[in-house]
Structures are given as C-alpha cells and as structure tokens.
Structure 1
Amino acid sequence: MKSKKHLASAAVAAAALAVPATAGAHGSVYTDTAKVAPTPLPANATQNDLLTQTRYAVTNHGYTYVLRETNNRPGVAGMLDFKKLPSAYRTSFASDKARWLSEGGTAAQPHATCSTPELNALSAVLSWQGNDPFYGYIPWQATSAGLEDDPALWLPRINTITGKTLTADMTTDQLSAACVGIGGTFYPADTIQTTTASLNAGYAADIVAPLNTQIGQLNADKLTLQGALDTANGAKTAADAAKAKAEADLADAIAAKSAAESRIATAEAAVKAADAARVTAEKGAAASDAAATSAKADATALRLKLTRLQVAVASLPTASEMANDGMTATVNGPAGEPVTVRVLVTETRARALKLKSRVIASGTGTIGSDATGRVTVKATTAGAKALRAAKGKLGVTVQALSGDRVAQQEATL
C-alpha cells in the first residue's frame, strides 16, 4: 500500500530591516554604565548624589535593544554574550551547554522570569532553545521581546514543567501572582530604554530614502518633458495655420507667387522642426517612464533581499512516512539565496537511536525571486533506519539555514 506524502509548510514573515554584513549567527551584549538621579533629588545635588545604573546594548541579526539593569535578579541568568565565546572556542566544548551559560552569561534580561529550581534547571533552560542557546532562562511571559524570540517555543515548556498557561493579555501583577503560586520568585524584565523599532525604522528609512528621491526626480523630469511636448505640439499647430494662410495667399495673388512659395518653404521648415522637437520629447518621456519603472523594480528587489528568515511548521508526516517518502518544505526568505532545510533530533534521542549525527533528514534548494522556495527533504540512510525503529511519537526540530540566517521550530513526527 502506497504511503501518503505530507507537506511541511515553513512560512517566513517579511521584515523591513536590513541585516548588516557584520552581523553573525550569534548575538553580542555590550555592557555600559550611566548616572541616574534618585527620587527625591537632594537640594544642591552633586555627582556624588547620583546613582550608577548598568545598561546593556544587545544585538542579534541586526536587531538592537538598549536595556537598563532594573530587575536586579541575582546570579548570572541573562542573555549570552558570544563575544566571550568565539566560535572555535565554544566548539571545543560544544556539548557542555552549562559551561556556555556560565562563561557567556550576562545580567541582561529582556523578558520577565520566574525563579524556581525546576525552571532554573539546565534541561529546562535548554528545552526551548535546542542546541544553540542564547538565553540563560525560560521567559515568564507570553509575548515576544522583539529580538526574533518566539513565545510558541517556550510557552508549551512552561505548561509542561509548571502546569501554568500564560497568555498575552496577562498584566505584570498577574504574571507575578502566577509565579508566586508555584513557589517561585518573580522578576520583571529589565527596562527597555530604546526599542528595536525606533532604532531600525531610521535604518530602513536611510536605505529607502535615496530611491524615493530618485523616483521623485524622475517624475519631475517627466513633467518637464511633457511640458516641452505640449509646447512642440502648439508650435506644430501654429505652423500648420501659417502654411494654410500662405497657400490661400498664393491662390489670391498669383503675381506674388515667388513670395508665397518662400513663405510656404519657411512654414514647412517650422513643421519639420516642431516634428523633431515632438519626437525628442516623446523619447525623453519614454526614457523617464523606463527609469521610474527600473527604480521601482530595484526597490522591490531590495525588499525581497531584506526578507527575514523564519520557519513555522504546519504539519509533518509520521516517522515511518518520513523514512520512506520524506517531505516538502516551503520556505520564505531572502530572494535568490540558497537554503538548507534539516530535521534534527535531540542529542539524548540521537544516542538512544545510536545515531552519530542529530540530523536525520535534509534537503537543499534556492529561494525564488518572490521570496518563496520549495525544498525536498529526504531522510539520511541512518536517519531512515532510526525512524523505522522509533516507537511512538518522535520530537524533532525543523531548521532552515540561509547564509548566516537560521530559523527553526519544534515539531513532532
């Protein structure tokens, strides 16, 4: 009996932000200090009366946050600073994620958190981040902080570990009460000083502004040429009238034939000049239209090139169907870029299935000019064998990679 082929749909939302060429696959956390005034401010205050406040500038894939240290959560449980963990160095102890969190951790926390032994455990912290952690905690909120973080990755983990269901409409007081209800200590997120949107909106405007200026100038040139065309048409009409008058004068005054013929010749020359001016104006208008069309096409191509990579799995085949037929993934992202789609199991499951690699299936393709690509994903030989031997449901990570962009989502076969 033939197995049905299932399609896995990986949808990517377009972003209006460019990813700088210097942005790596891992973020950086820059620490600084600033002075803040106490409340109330003493009379005749000096610098000695001001308080020192730590700030963090967090960057990841072109997204930037400036945070103030306001929640004062003790210990290192914040975002990882990959400036402290160069690629070759962290690769040397790739499987020791506790060491990653210890050596790369900072106190920057753009999410609210709930501190309990269960939520602070390494397995819990890594459970929503796969094999590539960037946070030393599980967020205790149902909304994104705006750093390409997806609540769909951590909310199911919170429900599994604590039995609590967090929703986007919960206030800070409600989140705190839910944390205290499981015996935890609630910490609000560090205060956001500058939002991602305000920083990157200006950056996007700087990229688009020259194109808008060019289009505006081309439209102005088109209006000028159209005016010249109207003037030429008027000149032709006047020349035609002069020719008609000259011919009438010739009929009325045969004796003045020489003079009339001279006037006709003059009028015909004016007609030719007007025709030439009209042709030139029409060519200029056509060139202006073509330039405007090209500028608009460049703007569209730029937008497609800046599309941010993201993956969202709609449905997956069973383990046996994956082993036999694989699947087809639809990926949206930067137009014209190559993309690789992989299906991975956890390190623990890989060892249990006696796999040398976590990758059990993969496929490559190219994202089309409309920012959409279809990739056929097939199981590896070892992966297919493990899939057929797997009992019950198998948790996997579907991951899309394009250049330095990575998008992934947890799913179950």
Structure 2
Amino acid sequence: MSSAFHIHIGGAGVMMGDMLWKLYEKEHNETTLKNYVYQQVDGHSHPLTLFADLDDRMISEVQRNKQIQFKKNSFLYGKEEASNIYSRGCYTIGKEIIDKGLDQIRKQIETMDRLDQFVITTSIMGGTGSGFSTLLLQRLEVDYKNKVKTNGFIIFPSSGMSNNILGIYNAMFSIQMTRNHFHSITMFDNQSMYNVIDQQLDLDYVDYSHLNNLVAQTISSYTGLRRFNNIDNSKFFSGMCPYPNLHYFVPSYGKMTLINDYTRKELSQNEFIKYLTKKEIKLYQSPNNPQHLSTTLLFRQKEPNHFYGKFNQTLQNLSHVYNQSPRIFQCNSSNYQVLSELAQMKQTGIFFSNDASIISRFDQLGRNFDKIYAKRAFVWAYVSEGLEEFEFSEGREALANLTSEYSEVIKEDSPQNDLEIDYE
C-alpha cells in the first residue's frame, strides 16, 4: 500500500503543516485509507511527516498539540534562524542539520510499503523556506531520484504587500529549485488569499490562521482523492503539464461561510462552478486575463455525483491554449473545518489552472530584483554566508527562461502569432 510523506519547511511551512494535520485529525475517522498519511501502530495513528526549521520557535507551537501523536523524528530544528537569508539556509546553518533530517525522513519511509509522493509546504520568501528547501530537495533527488513525485504547495511573493528586499532575493534564488526539483507547484500569495477571504467572509480580523486554512483545505482535498476515494492522485498534476517545466498551478477555493451566517445557502451546480472559475477568487492573482494551458476542477462532497460538471457550459466555454476540456474529480468527503468561526459546507471545491498569465507576476519579480541588485543591496549578506555572486545572475536567468517558455507556448497557439501580453 502506498503512502505520502509530508515535509513542512521554515516558519510559514511549519504553520501551514500545523493547520493541515489538525484538519487531517478531524477527517481521520471518515477516511477509508487511513495509512496513506499515517503510520498505524497498535491502534495509534502517527503522522508521516517532518517539520523542519532552523530554530525551534514555530516547531514548539506544533509540539504543544498533544492530541496529534507525532513521533520524535517528526521534528527537525537547529540552534539559530536563517535571518531571512537564503544562503544561511542552504550553505551554512542548513548544512549542520541536513544529514539528521534525511535520516529522520528515511526511517519513517522505511515503515511504508511504498512511498507515493512528497507533499511539501513552504514559503520561498524566507531564508529557511528558500535556502533549506533547496538543499533538502537537492539531496532528496539524489536519494530518491525521479521515482517519487514531489508536489509543492508554496507561498510566493505578493504583488503589493511586501517590500522586503531579502524576500525578493530569496524568491529569485528559489525559482531554479521550483523548476528543477518539483513535479508540480501549487502557488499562493498572502495578498491574494486576503482578497479572497474578504470577498467570501465578513471578518473583523484576518490573521495567518485563515490563510493557512486555505492552503490546508487545498492539500486535504487533493490527498483526499486517495484517502477517501482510493483514487491514485500521483498523476493528478502530471496531466496538467503540457511541458515538464510548465508545472505551476493556480488554485481557486470556495466557498467559505461563517458559522453564524444564518442566511447562507448552498449554490446550485452552475452557480458553484461559475463562482469557482472567477478570476477574483484565485489564490495567486495576476492582473492579466487567464491563459489556461490546462484546468482541473476538484469538488468535495460526501455524496457521489458521477455526472457533476460534465455538461456545464461555464467549463465547456473556458478557453484553453490546447483546446483541452477541463478534468473533473470528486473527493467524497464532508467538509471539515479547523477554525471555529467557519461553517462546514455541504460542498466545496478547488479549481486548478495551469495559467500562463502568471508570467506577468514572474516579470514583476524580475523587475523588482533588477532594481535592488543594480545597487548591490545586501549582496554582502548572502556572499558572507557562502553564496557565490554569480548565483544572482543564475537565478535571474532561470526566471527569464521560465517566463520565456510560458510566453512561447502562448505565441505558438496564436494563429496570427501576434498575441501581446501586458506585463504592467
């Protein structure tokens, strides 16, 4: 029987993982395949996971939850943080704990019949999330080669919320990692998630727990295909990749409702699909209209519905570069909620899009990088921690190549070959 192994890296990745395992615990009794994300020992369920950070502050928060039976080798931490610097996570502080982390992963994987995939949460803006993730992914590729799928659920820089110079550098250095060491990347950014929460909920205060909930719900529905339906989800994302490097997916999630909203009503199938495919509820928003290379609707409802969305006009009318029809999957499960203020809906859904319009966001990241690197701002902080200065240029070139690949696909599809893309 196959299992998935979860890895949560850096402060943001650890907090996303904390929310995810709280959600898994609520769902556990309903799951039909209980050993997909847990190791079952003498009637106890132990999560198959590693929480990794360069200091123990966030991990201590996770360990306080005694209701989840984590093993001791589920936690990896060092003695000092990455100070928001990629090279500390990759070249200096991270190297002190990497071998211990790989050993902890190996020992847990040895308890499985077969490793199905790695599910990774992190933010590429932090020093640990960018640097240690790069180091770990490089080593995992050596140990497990291409036999195991690696699927990332990753926070990218927001378009307007962050002016963090180091975050821009860290994200730039991470592009090559996301391109070369992952089979799929599901993209989020904090500003877009705030926007979606504001649209769906009337909350006086929104914090990171609400953002982490969106990521956790997305991952839970994805792994839920195997946990509730016993559907092989290892190929779920591979069907959305027309080219191996173009594996960046934008999710939309809905619908959320407050527990005290007594006027709430369930949407009809047509209303629900129309809502999910709106540009405004993407969890990684681009200013341009979508350019779908491929799309998948994953809806979640306990009662099976084999005909759901098959003839829906909104899905049929979506424009795809390769004229493909959207794929449709159902996760046969109730919609559980960790946050007490959120109601359990009878139906929720995630709409995944391989959307080439993200090149506008990539281009914006490149322009921001160019501005600060031209002044050599904080370059010394990275070089003093073992990074070679030519790696700044390598990272920028990797981003330019990725942008070019997406752009070429769109141009090839244009009959007049004159499609213009607005990067502003």
- What TM-score range do you get, normalising by the shorter chain? under 0.3
What TM-score does the superposition give when structure 2 sets the normalisation length? 0.25
What TM-score does the superposition give when structure 1 sets the normalisation length? 0.25
